[in-house]
Structure 1
Amino acid sequence: MTGWETLIADKLKDRASRIPPDWILSENILTQINENTDLSAFDILRKHRLLTKEEIRITESYDAQNLHRDIIEGRLTSLQVCKSFCKRAAIAQQLTNCATEIFFAEAFERARFLDYYLNKYNRPFGPFHGLPISVKDSFNVKGQATTIGFVSFLKKPLAAENSPLVDILLANGAILYLKTNIPQTLLTLDSVNNVFGRTLNPHKLSLGAGGSSGGEGALVALRGSILGVGTDIGGSIRAPSLCNGTYGFKPTADRMPHGKVELGDRPGTPGFVSAVGPLANNASDLTFFCRTVLSSEPWRLDPTALGIGWRHVSPKKRLSIGVYMGDKDFPLSPPVKRALKSAHAALEAAGHAVHLVTNAPSFHDGLKLAARYFLFDGKQTLLQHVLEGDEQPIKALEYTSPATLAGVQDPTFTLDDVWDANSSLIAYREKMAEVWRHYKLDVLMCPGHYSTAGPHDTYGPPVYTVIWNLLNFPASIIPYLKADKSLDSEICDGYDADVVHGAPTAIQIVGWKFQDEEVLMATEVIDKILRDHLTFKSVL
C-alpha cells in the first residue's frame, strides 16, 4: 500500500474499533450491504431484531422535547438513553456508512455525569439535558479528528478545542457521541469521499443520501440521533433531509454560530456564506433546537454570530402561502409534482390563502449567478486539498462544477467581476421581492429539488436550494409522501419510476431574510395540516 492508503486503512480500522463487539452485525447481514442493492436499512433493522423493545421505544417513540422531559422527570436516565442511541447509531453506521468519528465511551461518561448532576441538584443541566446530538464532521470536537473527507487532512492533529456551537450544545446539556460523513470538497449532493467512502440512503441503499450533510441525513432518518447538526451553502442540510425523509432547516446565515467550523474553503470569501442548522424527525424539534441555541446568546462565544436572540412568533391561523411549481429549465419529476399539488390542495382545504406563483425570476439564472460566486477563489483551495492527498476527484463533482453551472469557460475573475456579481444579486433579489409583494406572502412553498433521491452520483445541480443561499433566505424541508410507481407513471427524461419507488418526497418552505422564526412557525403549521390530511385520507 502507498503511504496514503495506509493512513486511510488505519483510520477505518480505528473507526471500526470504536463500536463495541456486542453491537457488531453478523457477517450474513454485512455481506448484503452495498451501494447497488435495493435493500432497506429499516427492513434489515426490523427483520433481524437488532434492537430490544426498550431500545426501540426509546429511539422511536419520542421527539427531543418529550425525551428530555422523561429524562429530567426520572422515567429514563441519561445513560439509558445514551446507550440506546449509541447502539442504534452503531447499527446505522454499519448499514449506511454514515459516521466518521465515533466516541461512545466519552458519551457514556458524559451521560453518567448528567445523571449525577440531576440527582445531586434536582435540576437539569440545560434544555438539551441528556439528549444525544450528532454533528457533521465539519464541527470541531476537542480530542477528535476533523478530516472532512480529505486524504491530506488525515495528517492533521486532533482538534484542540471545540467549535463554539459544540460548546453551546454541551453547555445546554447535550451528549455528543458521533460525527457524520460528508462528500469530498463539501460541494456535491452525494456524500462520498476517498477516506470514509459513500453514505447510503436507509430507505433504499442504492439511492443517494444527499449532501453535504448526508451522514446526518441518514443517521437522523434511521433514528440513530434525536437531533443532528449540519451546514448548508447550497442545499447541504435540505438535500439530505429531502433524500432521507427528515425535516431540516437552513437559517439565515450567521444567525447560528458558524465559527471554527472546518469547511476546507479559503477564508474571506466575497460570496455568500454557509449556514448552520438542524435536522430532525419532526417540525417542532427544528424550532426547539433553534430556540435553545439562539436563547444562549451565541454571539458572546462566537463573533461570527449575529446579536439577534430568539423571537417568539405566535402561530398564524391563516397564512398567505405562495406555491411555485418549478422552473421550465428544471421540470419536476412526477412524484415531486404530485407532492406539491397534494400539499397545495391540503392547505387550501384548511383555509389558508394559497397563491400559484407565476412571476418568479428564472431559477436557472439564479443558479448561474450562485455558481459564479464559487469561482472567485482563484487559488482553487478545495482542489488543492485534493491534490495534496494525491487523490482523484469524486464523480459527483462533475455535475456540481461551478464553471459548468455558471456557463464560464475561463474562470479567471477580477475585482470588477465581484462588483458585477453583487450588482446582479441586488437586481435578482428585487425580482424575488416583487413575488413577495405581489402576493403579500408569509412564505413560499416550492420544491426542494426537481427529483427525489436518485441513484448514486446523479443528484444534479441544486437549483431549488442554492437560490435561497444566494438570497440568504431561511428555508425548511418537510417530508411529505413517497414516490409510488403506480401513481407516478408519467414518462419524462431522467426519471425511472421503478428505481425511485419508495423514495421520500418533500416540500420546501421559504421566508424572507431574518424571518427564521416565521419560517419555523409556518413549517409547524403546514406540517400539522399535511399530517392531518394524510390521517384523514387513511381512514376514508
Structure 2
Amino acid sequence: MSDWEALIANKLKDRAARIPLEWVLPGDILSQVDEHADVNAFDILGKYGLLTEEETRITESYDAQGLYREIVEGRLTSLEVCKAFCHRAAVAQQLTNCATEIFFEEAYERAKFLDDYLVEHGRPCGPFHGLPISVKDSFDVKGKASTLGYVSFLKNPNATENSTLIDLLLENGAVLYIKTNVPQTMMTMDSVNNIFGRTLNPHKLSLGAGGSSGGEGALVAFRGSILGVGTDIGGSIRAPSLCNGTYGFKPTADRIPYGRIQSGSRPGSPGLISAAGPLANSASDLNFFCRTILSSDPWRLDSTALGIGWRHVPPKEKLSIGVFMGDQDFPPTPPVRRALESARLALERAGNDVHLVAKFPSLTEAVKLAARYFLLDNRNTLLKHVIDGGEEPIKALEYASPASIAGMREYTLDDVWDANASLIEYREEVAAVWREHKLDVLICPGHQSTAVPHDTYGPPVYTVVWNLLNFPTSIIPYLKADKTLDSTTSCYYDPDVVEGAPTAIQVVGWKFQDEEVLMATDVIDRALKMDL
C-alpha cells in the first residue's frame, strides 16, 4: 500500500468511526447500495424503519423557520432536534455517501449549550438557534479538515479558524455537525473524488447528485439537514438542487461573505467569482437564510463582503416574467420542457404578465467565454493539486473541464482584456431582453436534463451563463420525470433511466437584485403549488 493509499484508508476509517455503532446499517441494507442500482433511498428508509416516529416527525414536519419556532417556544429542545438530524444524516451518509467530516458529539455539546442559554436568558441565541446546518467541505470549520477531494490535501493541517460564514452561522445560533462531499477540483457536476468516492442521488442511486455541492444536495434532499450551505461558480448550488429536488439560491457574488472559504484555485482570478448560498426544502427558507446573514453586517468580519445589508422587498401581486424555453444548441429534454411549459401556464393563470422570450443571446458563446476565464490561470493550479497527489483525474473532467470547451493554450494579458470586452457585449445583449419585456425575472431551464447517470451531466450551460453575468438565480423543484408523459427518446434522454427524477425551473434576476429574486422565487413557488 502506497503512502497515499494509506492516507485515504485512514481517512475513510476515521469517517466510518464517527457514526455510532447503533446507527450503522446492517449488511442486508448496505448490499443494496450501489451506484448502478435503481434504488430509492427514501424507500429504504421507510421500508426498514430506520428512524423512530419522533425522529421522522422532527426531520420531516418542518422547514427551518418552523423548526426554530418549535425550539424557542419549548416544544422541542435543541438536543432532541440535533440527535434526530444526526441520525438521519448518518443514514444519508450510508445510503448516498454524502459526508466528508462528521462531528456529532461536538454538535450535541453545542445543542446542550443552546438549550441552557435559552433557559438562562429567556431568549434564543439568534435566528438559527438550535438549527442543524450542514456545510460543503470547502468551508473551514476550526479543527476539521478541508480536503476538497484532493488526495494531496490529506496532509494539510486541519483548519485553525473558521470561514467567516461559519462564524456568522454560529453567531446566529446554528449547530454544525457535518461537512459534505465535492468533486475533485470542484469543477464538475458529478460529486466524485478519489478519497471519499461518489455521492449518489437519494431519489435513484444510479443518477448523479450534481456538483460541486453534491453532498449538500443529497443530504438536504434526504432531509438529513434542515439547511445546507454550498458555493457556486458555474452551477454548484443549482445543479445539486435540481438533481436532488431541493431549492437553491446563488446570490450575486460577495453579498454572502466568502472569506476563508477553500477552493484550491489560484488566488486573484480576474474571471468568474464564486458565491456562497443556501440549499433548502422551502423557498421561504432561502429568504430566511439570506435575510439572517445579510442582517448580521457580514462586512464587519470580512473584507470580501459588500456593505449592502438586507433589503425588505414586499411581494408583488403581478410579476413580469420572461420564459426562455431553451437554446437550440442545448435543447432541453422532454421532462424539462414539460416543467417549463407547465410553469408558464400556471403563472399566466395566476395573473402574472408572462412573456415568451423567443430570442436570447447564444449560450454557446456564453459557455465558451466562461471557459476562457477559467483557463486564464497558466499555472493550471487545480490540475497541479491532482498531480501532487499522484492520483488520476476523475472521468467527469473529460466533459466539464474548461479546456474541453475552449481548448488549452497559454493565455496573455490581452486575453483578459478581450474576455472583458466580450463580456460587456454579451451583457448588453442580455440587457436588451430585460428592457424589451420590462422583466422582473426570467425563468429558464436549470440544465438540459434532470439528474442523469453518473459522469454524463455535460457542461452546465444554463447555470454558468449567470455566473458569467454575476446575476442572482434560484432553483425551484417542480414536477418529476414521467415516462408516460415524456415518452420521446433522444441521444440525451432515456425516459426509463430518469423516471421519477425531480424536474425544476431556474429563476433569474439582474445583478444585485437578490432580494427581488428571492421574493419572486417565493411568489412563483406559491403559484406553482396552488396550480397543482
TM-score (norm. length: structure 1):
0.98
Matched letter for residue 329 of structure 1 = D
- Paired AA for residue 532 in structure 1: M
Alpha-carbon deviations, 1:62-86, whole Å to 9, x = none? Answer: 0101100110110000000000000
Q: Say if 2:508 is the partner of 1:513.
A: no
- Indicate the SS of the match to 1:519: helix
Alignment of 1:19-168 (within 5 A): 19-168=19-168
Could you tell me which of 451, 454, 460 is aligned with 1:453?
451
Listed as ranges, the matches of 1:445-524 within 5 Å are 445-524=443-522
SS class of match (2:204): coil
Structure 1 distance, partners of 2:471, 2:140, is: 26
2:136 partner letter? K
Q: How does 1:320-359 map to 2 (within 5 A)?
A: 320-359=320-359
1:403 Cα deviation (Å)? 2.0
Q: Give the CA deviation at 1:206.
A: 0.2
SS of structure 1 residue aligned to 2:497: helix
Q: 1:298-350 CA distances to partner (integer Å, 9 max, x unpaired)?
A: 01101100000000000000000000011100001000000000000000011
Instruction: Specify the code of the residue in structure 2 equivalent to 1:525.
Output: V
Aligned match of 1:434: 432
State the distance in 1 between where 2:248 and 2:486 align. Answer: 25
What letter corresponds to residue 172 of structure 2 in structure 1?
N
> 2:294 aligned with 1:278, yes or no?
no
Superposed counterparts of 1:392-411, under 5 Å: 392-406=392-406, 408=407, 410-411=408-409
Letter in 2 for 1:200: L
Cross-structure match for 2:290: 290
Letter in 1 for 2:324: Y
Q: CA deviation at 1:381?
A: 0.2
Amino acid at match of 2:455: D
Match of 1:187 in 2: 187
Root-mean-square deviation over aligned CA pairs: 0.5
Mapped partners of 1:530, 1:484: distance in 2: 18
Structure 2: tracts of 5 or more residues without a match: none
Alpha-carbon distance in 2 for matches of 1:459, 1:521:
30
How many Å separate the matches in 2 of 1:214 and 1:14? Answer: 21
Tell me which amino acid in the other structure corresponds to 1:187: M
* Most deviating of 487-496 and 46-55: 487-496
CA distance in 2, matches of 1:20, 1:404: 43
1:405-438 deviation line (CA, Å, top 9, x unaligned)? 12x3x42111001000000000000000000000
Structure 2 counterpart of 1:423, one-letter code: A
Matches within 5 A, 1:169-184: 169-184=169-184
**SS at structure 1 position matched to 2:114:** helix
Instruction: Give the deviation of 1:360 after TM superposition.
Output: 1.1
Letter in 2 for 1:481: L
Equivalent-residue separation in structure 2 for 1:401 and 1:421 (angstroms): 18
Deviation at 1:272, TM superposition (A): 1.4
Offset of 1:55 from its aligned partner? 0.4
Deviation string 1:98-129 (CA, Å, 9 cap, x unpaired) is: 00000000000000000000001100000000
Query: Which deviates more from structure 2 when the two are superposed, residues 92-101 or residues 358-367?
Result: 358-367
Distance in 2 between residues matched to 1:120 and 1:316, nearest whole Å: 42
1:361 is aligned to 361
- 1:489 Cα deviation (Å)? 0.6
Tell me the CA shift for residue 358 of structure 1. 1.6
Match of 1:244 in 2: 244
Q: Return the letter of the residue paired with 2:140.
A: N
Rounded to whole Å, the distance in 2 between the matches of 1:331 and 1:249 is 24
Q: Secondary structure at the match of 2:65?
A: helix
User: Partners in 1 of 2:180 and 2:119 — Cα distance?
Assistant: 32
Query: What displacement does 1:404 show?
Result: 2.2
CA distance in structure 1 between the aligned counterparts of 2:400 and 2:121, rounded to whole angstroms = 52
Q: How far is 1:490 from its partner? A: 1.3
- Note the alpha carbon deviations across 1:129-188, whole angstroms, 9 max, x for none: 000000000000001011010000000011000000000000000000000000000000
Alignment-derived partner of residue 537 in structure 1: none
SS of 2:85's partner is helix
**Separation in 1 of the partners of 2:444 and 2:412?**
35
- In structure 2, what is the Cα distance between the partners aligned to 1:141 and 1:94? 23
Distance 1:76 1:62 in 2: 12
Deviation of residue 359 (structure 1)? 2.3
**Match of 1:493, as an amino acid?**
C
Q: CA deviation at 1:491?
A: 2.4
Note the alpha carbon deviations across 1:384-415, whole angstroms, 9 max, x for none. Answer: 00000000000000111212212x3x421110
Percent identity, please. Answer: 73
- For structure 1, the 5+ residue unaligned runs are 535-540
Aligned residue number for residue 307 of structure 2: 307
* Aligned partner letter, 2:323: V
| Among candidates 413, 416, 421, match of residue 414 of structure 2 | 416
Question: Secondary structure at the residue paired with 2:419?
Answer: helix
